[in-house]
Structure 1
Amino acid sequence: MKKQSFLITAICLFTFMQSTYAQFNKNVVIAHRGAWKQAGLPENSLASLNHAAELGCYGSEFDVYLTKDDILVVNHDRDFYGIDIETATYQELLAKKHPNGESIPTVEAYLKEGMKQKKTKLIFELKPSKLGKERVLKAAEMSVALVKKLGAEKWVDYITFDRDAGKHLAKLAPKAEVAYLNGDLSPAEAKADGFKGIDYHYNVFKKNPSWIKDAHKIGLTVNVWTVNDAEEMKSLLDQKVEYITTNEPELLFDILSKK
């Protein structure tokens, strides 16, 4: 009876895990800085994240910097409405707000918001630091620690332009999907560095037309950014890329509905 009870418990736990984490959206659409453009929302805001989830995107991409007082925050540019993020404290950043009234989100707040739903992945872009390698490596360590603390591992995929930071992320979170953004590594070189995917601008793949197939042959995923043109989207879909990052998720969904 004890053995049977253990087996039933194990099956229930497995079923729960599947129901909790196996239901992320199965499509190629990653909303770049959230779904903001058509809705008129601030980029990288909690509102744009929630709208990406409402649209049913596979992922919502967001950009991360480390403040002077070691707070991870979400914003695309190095400055937040004129305040330099890396040389300012978080409190100083609160002096400005997005047009919709939101303050700059901390990564912790952003992840917690994203974890309220279980359909859209959180595509965590760690930005390079203008203050040197030590700061971006510290940000990588803090990022992985925060994701683990919140239990957000199943929601988060990492991307970065910084090769060293990406290799560090891959070592710190070996089960995580970590993709390289810079476009200067062949698929084989990226895999040798520990990356699980390449995430390059569409012009990189035009210059290197074999790289999508090369990546797939060695088990890497392919994401392409930032694709806002319908014909580019169709071409990439025909090439079987895993993901397309776009400012026009609604357009991409429309194309997918007609294929």
Structure 2
Amino acid sequence: MNKIKVFRAFFLGLTLVIFSSCSVKKNGVVAHRGAWKTNNFPENSIASLRHAIDLKLAGSEFDVWRTADDSLVINHDAHYNKLLIEETNYEDLIKFKLSNGEKLPTLREYITEGKRNNKKTLLVCEIKPSEISKERGKKTALKAVETIKKLKADKITCYISFDYEILKQIRQVDPVTALQYLEGNKSPQEVKSDNISGIDYHYSVFQKHPEWIKEAKDNHITLNAWTVNDANIMDWIIENKFDYITTNEPELLNQRIKNKK
């Protein structure tokens, strides 16, 4: 029995090391909806994800919705081609192509691509709050976690959301995966008390609450900021040594980081 306990403790410790990847690297560049801007790729497309991976960025963020017939798809807005995703079947959505000819990607397709030839880039999965009900949003989160685990991509994925209850729901089924809260209305100490491992707030929140930067570091809470596109704001975040910086301008941000070394 003691040997079993020791093995479990070792395994949990090893897992925590793996999942702490969301807080290992300082000033890691996260491409917001993939690296799309420079090459005019559609946001949240397979092409934008692939480019983020090819750039060897620290992370690539994407957004997940669940269709009326329970397909998990990648899109930022609640609507796609003027159709409300949550009230539309998948087959009706994919009648309309992305601007580069891709079809609207499913989560399974996106994660499969995200695993391919990827040794550097964290997959930052944003679960969008449901516009129908809180419970639907939590169910979407559980289905996304289940899909990602089945694809054996959980070790290279972390989850973010504006819905705090979605993150708490994920924590119930996965005690170690990395979670980051987006809304900006809770202190690092508050998220720590709920076992949420990171905060990913708009940079203006940290300008308003600079004390949260130190509080997060003192409490081992991952620091991320969105969406940082201005060079001066980039420099301020870099100087404060955030774990991650989310941007639409990954190439510019990479250059600013190099200039600071």
TM-score (norm 2): 0.88
Could you tell me how far 1:172 is from its partner in structure 2?
Answer: 1.5
Q: Which amino acid is 1:145 matched to?
A: E
Could you tell me how far 1:254 is from its partner in structure 2?
Answer: 0.7
2:97 match: 97
**1:158-212 deviation per Cα after TM superposition (whole angstroms, max 9, x unaligned):** 0000010011112222221101000011111111122100000011111111001
- Equivalent residue runs for 1:1-259 within 5 Å: 28-116=28-116, 117-259=118-260
C-alpha contact 1:200 1:224 (8 A) present in aligned 2: yes
C-alpha contact 1:25 1:57 (8 A) present in aligned 2: no
Q: Which amino acid is 2:224 matched to?
A: N
The 1-side partners of 2:53 and 2:180 are apart by 22
RCO higher in structure (CA 8 A, sep ≥6): 2
Which residues of structure 1 form unaligned runs of 5+? 1-13
Could you tell me how far 1:27 is from its partner in structure 2?
Answer: 5.3
4+ residue stretches of structure 1 with deviation over 4 A? 24-27
The 2-side partners of 1:151 and 1:26 are apart by 26
CA radius of gyration, larger in: 1
C-alpha contact 1:58 1:119 (8 A) present in aligned 2: yes
Look up the SS of the partner of 1:101 in the other structure: coil
C-alpha contact 2:199 2:224 (8 A) present in aligned 1: yes
The 1-side partners of 2:25 and 2:236 are apart by 22
Superposed CA RMSD in Å reads 1.6
Which residues of structure 2 form unaligned runs of 5+? 1-13
The percent identity for this pair of structures is: 48
The 2-side partners of 1:231 and 1:193 are apart by 33
C-alpha contact 2:26 2:244 (8 A) present in aligned 1: no
**1:132-151 deviation per Cα after TM superposition (whole angstroms, max 9, x unaligned):** 01111111110111111111
TM-score (norm 1): 0.89
For these two proteins, the number of residue pairs brought into alignment is: 239
